[in-house]
A and B are shown apart, each in its own frame.
Chain A
Amino acid sequence: MGNFDKIRPISKKIAASLIKGEGAVDMENPEIFDEEAKGQLLTDIKKGARLDLLNQIDAEQDWKALERHLKPARKASKFWVYGAAASMVILIALGIVLSKMDEEQELEFNTPRIINNNIEVGTDKATLTLDDGSEVTLEKGQVYKSKTSSSNGEEIVYQSTTDTPVSHDQIVFNTLTIPRGGQFYMVLSDGTRVWLNSETQLKYPVAFVKGQIREVELIYGEAYFDVSPSTDHNGARFKVANASQNVEVLGTEFNIKAYKGEANVYTTLVEGKVNVQVGDESKVLVPNEQLNLNLDTQNLTVNLVDIYNETSWKEGVFSFEGMSLKDIMKVLSRWYDMNVTIENSIDAEERFIGTFKKNSSIEDILIAIHSTNFINSYEVNDKSLTIK
């Protein structure tokens, strides 16, 4: 599947062969066509079987009709699914279906089943674990206040304090744990801002040792750091430690994705400069670069990425570009706290592009994915989703 993007090259090649009068046409993708289909195809082309129709179409005139409807475009907010590069299948989605013919577009077969939908949109919530091991639940409506921090249930802010520890043994640590279906925002005592995604745990000092490296630990999950500059902290660098790697910076914005049970850790630099240390190896990233650490092989690769796709989660938007269905479902399962099964009849590696707001209901998203015609159906039962 997914050879639609080769139409032009194949067509040019066939056209060139035919014009040159070369008998055999190498179609490059013989697996797409069997011999019979290939023969029929060449016959159709040679006979000009589509020529009459083609000549009946006046592109210039129809452009004038269309042009009137083209408004200066705006950023898509609806879900729109399609494949990206060479090997990806391109699928169309919700957008078109909704735009013109919605009420009539309902597909009658393979009707999705919603048995007892208990899948809820994620919210701001976290568990704060204090130095003594006691736990505080932070969620909407819960106000929490201590000597060092305060929370309104949607974020937690640590006070910048003059009462800083003088050595590492005096550091008091807190841990913030974001469950599946949660997200949270925090400001550390040095002014560094951190957005925490679902299923994430971060351990950090309540106050940093003055003039010494500021170190936090991303135990697992995904977090976006907007680090307050070293120049404001007597030159103290900022470090994010993780079991697999250490990231050191002077003051910058970056995203780290290090989920449990995943084969890769991704560090994406938005602004400034970071140094990522993996074992003995280190890599310096510049903005728009993403370091991919493969945990199995310890291989490091650097790719240019679209920052928006990587960090939109913190703005309340999921933006998938060329992401496989399997990976999209992983992201969704964390935010909607659901179990997802993709049946074998569906190619879970198929890639989509889509954008939607994180406050969309799971059903809205499923309708969009379903309308690509790529999946046959789906079933929601309690907190489980099956893609069929």
Chain B
Amino acid sequence: MREGKTEYTFKSYKKLFENLYPQLCVFAYKYLNDLELSKDLVQEVFLKVWEDKITFQSENHETGFFYKAVKNKCLNYLKSKRYKATERYELTDLEDYDTEEFHISEAVVVETTAVIENAINTLPEKAAKVIRLSIEDYTNNEIANELSISVNTVKDHKKVAYRKLRNLLSFLTIR
């Protein structure tokens, strides 16, 4: 039950940071509308988790924890006197921000964007372009037109991409 609950080392924590930090900053931005502030608050969360030697049962638990922590940190900030003094949001706006649906959908948007981006970045340039357009709902014909290549070449690029991204795509068949 508690397997995998090992404490972080500098090395493992760095890896976690690189995997999560960019998305968490973007997630925080949705609340704070200020990227530098978002970075600061996210770093404070990382600092706190380190200092308190928090451990997690699984990667999903860990990811969820960080998102929730950043969310709470942002909401606390928005409720703080310092922030209210600037009167950028009315309190009613804050209520809209503090719903489960808002938090999770934003987290999923950010996280999915990052997953896709990381995946695409492993692809050859042409294949990457094809996949980007495909995600934007372009048909094979439209992609062919856009990139001035043949439809068959589009299909070939897709095949290359799927082979390369097998690990990610197999996620669908595991479950």
A and B pair up: yes
Write the residues of chain A forming the contact surface with B, with a CB cutoff of 8 angstroms: 1, 3-21, 32-34, 37, 40-41, 44-51, 53-54, 56-57, 59-60, 62-63, 65-67, 69-71, 73-76, 78, 80, 82-86, 89-92, 95-97, 99-101, 104-109, 303-304, 306, 371-373
* CB closest chain-A residue, reference B162: A20
* Distance, CA A230 to CA B104, complexed state (A): 57
User: What chain B residues lie within 8 Å of A101 (beta carbons)?
Assistant: 76-77, 80, 82
Is the C-beta of B147 less than 8 angstroms from some C-beta in chain A? no
Q: Are A92 and B73 in contact (CB under 8 A)?
A: yes
* Distance, CA A89 to CA B103, complexed state (A): 13
* Chain B interface main SS type: helix
26 interchain pairs (CB within 8 A)?
Answer: A4-B65, A4-B67, A5-B64, A7-B63, A12-B115, A12-B168, A14-B112, A19-B131, A19-B135, A33-B104, A45-B116, A47-B136, A50-B109, A53-B25, A54-B26, A62-B43, A76-B52, A80-B54, A91-B72, A96-B44, A96-B76, A99-B44, A105-B80, A109-B91, A306-B2, A373-B75
- Bitwise, B9-32 to A at CB < 8 A (1) or not (0) is 010011001100111011001000
* Distance, CA A32 to CA B25, complexed state (A): 23
* Distance, CA A97 to CA B74, complexed state (A): 11
User: What chain B residues lie within 8 Å of A70 (beta carbons)?
Assistant: 10, 13, 47, 50
User: What chain A residues lie within 8 Å of B134 (beta carbons)?
Assistant: 19, 21
**Most chain B beta-carbon neighbours within 10 Å: one of A3, A50, A372:** A50
* Distance, CA A9 to CA B63, complexed state (A): 10
* Distance, CA A48 to CA B120, complexed state (A): 12
- State which of A50, A85, A95, A106 has its C-beta within 8 Å of the C-beta of B57: A85
User: What chain B residues lie within 8 Å of A108 (beta carbons)?
Assistant: 79, 81, 84
Given contacts A37-B105, A67-B10, contact A104 B81 (CB under 8 A): yes
Q: Are B135 and A46 in contact (CB under 8 A)?
A: yes
User: What chain B residues lie within 8 Å of A9 (beta carbons)?
Assistant: 60
Given contacts A8-B111, A16-B172, A53-B29, contact A75 B21 (CB under 8 A): no
Known: A4-B103, A57-B26, A373-B75. 16 other contacts (CB 8 A): A5-B58, A7-B63, A12-B171, A21-B135, A53-B26, A56-B35, A59-B21, A63-B18, A73-B7, A75-B53, A76-B51, A80-B52, A82-B65, A89-B68, A96-B73, A372-B72
User: What chain A residues lie within 8 Å of B79 (beta carbons)?
Assistant: 107-109
* Distance, CA A353 to CA B95, complexed state (A): 26
- State which of A66, A82, A86 has its C-beta within 8 Å of the C-beta of B68: A82
User: What chain B residues lie within 8 Å of A306 (beta carbons)?
Assistant: 2
**Most chain B beta-carbon neighbours within 10 Å: one of A5, A19, A83, A101:** A19
* CB closest chain-A residue, reference B85: A104
Q: Are B75 and A7 in contact (CB under 8 A)?
A: no
- State which of A20, A59, A92, A107 has its C-beta within 8 Å of the C-beta of B18: A59
B89-136 residues with Cβ-Cβ distance < 8 A to A are: 91, 100-101, 103-105, 107-117, 119, 131-132, 134-136
* CB closest chain-A residue, reference B27: A50
Is the C-beta of B59 less than 8 angstroms from some C-beta in chain A? yes
* Distance, CA A171 to CA B75, complexed state (A): 64
B152-175 residues with Cβ-Cβ distance < 8 A to A are: 158, 161-162, 165, 168-169, 171-172, 175
The 8 closest A-B pairs by CB, nearest first: A5-B64, A4-B64, A90-B68, A11-B111, A76-B52, A15-B115, A92-B72, A11-B112
Q: Are A51 and B113 in contact (CB under 8 A)?
A: yes
For residue A367, give the distance in angstroms from its CB to the closest CB of chain B: 13
* CB closest chain-A residue, reference B40: A100
Q: Are B137 and A46 in contact (CB under 8 A)?
A: yes
Q: Are B72 and A11 in contact (CB under 8 A)?
A: no
Is the C-beta of B69 less than 8 angstroms from some C-beta in chain A? yes
Q: Are A19 and B21 in contact (CB under 8 A)?
A: no
- State which of B45, B60, B158 has its C-beta within 8 Å of the C-beta of A5: B60
User: What chain B residues lie within 8 Å of A33 (beta carbons)?
Assistant: 101, 104-105
Given contacts A8-B60, A80-B52, A95-B52, contact A1 B100 (CB under 8 A): yes
Q: Are B21 and A63 in contact (CB under 8 A)?
A: yes
* Distance, CA A53 to CA B69, complexed state (A): 20
User: What chain B residues lie within 8 Å of A66 (beta carbons)?
Assistant: 17, 43, 46-47
- State which of B25, B45, B82, B108 has its C-beta within 8 Å of the C-beta of A14: B108
- State which of B51, B53, B104, B135 has its C-beta within 8 Å of the C-beta of A18: B135
Q: Are B10 and A57 in contact (CB under 8 A)?
A: no
Given contacts A12-B168, A90-B69, A105-B76, contact A6 B64 (CB under 8 A): yes
